[in-house]
Copies of this chain bind each other. A is one copy, B any other.
Amino acid sequence: MTATNAGSRIVDGATRLYCIIGDPVAQTGSPRVFSERFRAAGRNAILVPFHVPDAAFEPTLRGIMALANLDGIIATVPYKARILQFADRILPTAQKVGAANALRREPDGQWTGDMFDGRGMVRAITATAGAVAGRNVMLIGAGGAGSAIACALADAGVGSITICEVDARKARMLAARLGVIAPSCALRIGPATTDGINLLVNASPVGMSPQDGLPAPLGELPPNVVVADVVLADETPLLRHARACGCATVRGREMMMSQVDEMLAFFGMASA
């Protein structure tokens, strides 16, 4: 094929692929954001959405990871923990969290996994509400994203974390991880409350579906509570409620955008 300038190209036979896997996947902003960054850098690469059905996760991952022009994978709900089994090497943050949201293919063909959600969310919260050190955190959801955020908040010196998670085993596993990495952070497992809390993070998928309500019965929120939501939507019932209560809010998109540079560096692209 003849060469054209990068600006007019969508994709050609030599385009390198990255994908985001999720179920669902239509809500993700990564395809547009990363593809535009690749294009702006003159790199013939694109990030496409792969809707991987939950029931076919393992064979589908084996299939797509065999594609010789696939260089990287971003994982979103519900695959951040399950994708770890496909990583040959797991970098320290992902190891600490027990989940990954990015895998890259190394020159030797092996796959390396890392986790960027935690630092991404801490950066996004800090940009909106200042340093998180000393804050008392209510965390709803202890899956891959929740674990990553809890570990990053603990690393950043929050005073306490209360974990609300319907799966008691997940809650205990996260508490055990946090107990090791941040022994001075007070930990509780229990129902969602705003008593004594000044940072509330929804890391559950509640809010993704248009039928969803709040992720927990929260009542009136004190206006000093900063409310962050991992859900990728311009608006969620939680964020609407929080703003009505006068709280500062952080959207999932801000968490996502604040990790783009780190992920691009992980994927081998020098920062802009």
Contact = CB atoms under 8 A, between A and B. Distances in A.
Interface stretch (A12-20, A162-170, A222-230, A258-266): A12-20
Interface in A64-97: 64, 66-69
B234 A2 contact: yes
Contacts of A39: 10
> Which of A29, A31, A67, A69 has its CB near the most chain B CB atoms (within 10 A)?
A67
A17 B47 CA distance: 12
Interface stretch (A51-59, A132-140, A212-220): A51-59
Interface in A106-123: none
> Which of A47, A48, A68 has its CB near the most chain B CB atoms (within 10 A)?
A48
A13 B46 contact: no
A98 to B, nearest CB: 25
12 contacts: A2-B234, A11-B31, A12-B32, A13-B26, A14-B49, A17-B48, A23-B68, A46-B46, A48-B48, A50-B69, A52-B68, A64-B64
A230 B11 CA distance: 22
Interface string A21-42: 0010111111110011001000
A31 B13 contact: yes
A207 B35 CA distance: 33
A119 B64 CA distance: 32
